[in-house]
Chain A
Amino acid sequence: MSPTNAALERVTRVPGVRGSLLISATDGLVVAERLMDGIDGRAIAALAANLIQRLVRATAGAGMRIPTFVHLRGKTGSVLAAPGRNDLVLVALAGADANLGLARVEMLDAVGRLA
Chain B
Amino acid sequence: MTDNIRALTARLADEPSSLAFLELGEALRRRGQLEAACKIVRGGLSRYPDLADAHDLLGRILGDQGDLAGAFDAWADALRFDPMRSSALKGIGFLYFRAGDIHAALEHLQRAAEIDPDDESIAQALARVRAAARGTPVGPPEQAEDTFTPAAAPAPSVEKATAATSLFPGPENGDQGVMLVDGNGLRLSGNLRSPTNEDVGDRVAAELAGVSREASRTTKLLGLGAWEAIAVESPEGNLFLVAPTPHTVLLTMRDPSLPMARLGLIAERAARDARAWLGVPE
Interface set of A (CB-CB < 8 Å, partner B): 43-44, 47-48, 50-51, 54-55, 57-59, 61-79, 93
By beta carbon, the residue of chain B nearest A57 is B207
Complex Cα spacing A73 to B267, Å: 14
* Contact of B219 with A by CB under 8 A: yes
Complex Cα spacing A76 to B260, Å: 20
Q: For residues 68 through 112 of chain B, which have their beta carbon under 8 Å from a beta carbon of chain A?
A: none
Complex Cα spacing A90 to B211, Å: 19
Inter-subunit contact B224/A47 (CB<8 Å)? no
In-complex Cβ contact of A74 among B211, B225, B237 (8 A):
B225
* Chain A residues, CB < 8 A from B260: 71
* Chain A residues, CB < 8 A from B198: 63
Q: How many residues of B contact A (CB 8 A)?
A: 38
Q: For residues 20 through 49 of chain B, which have their beta carbon under 8 Å from a beta carbon of chain A?
A: none
What DSSP secondary structure best describes chain B's contact surface? mixed
In this complex, which of B215, B225, B234, B253 has the most chain A Cβ atoms within 10 angstroms of its Cβ?
Answer: B234
* Chain B residues, CB < 8 A from A61: 200, 203-204, 206-207
8 residue pairs bridging A and B, Cβ less than 8 Å apart:
A58-B207, A62-B203, A68-B233, A69-B233, A73-B227, A73-B231, A74-B226, A77-B223
* Contact of B1 with A by CB under 8 A: no
Complex Cα spacing A107 to B195, Å: 27
A75 CB to closest chain B CB (Å) equals: 3
* Chain A residues, CB < 8 A from B225: 74-77
Query: Interface readout for B178-219 with A: 1 if CB under 8 Å, 0 if not?
Result: 000000000000001011101010011011101100110111
Inter-subunit contact B222/A62 (CB<8 Å)? no
B216 CB to closest chain A CB (Å) equals: 10
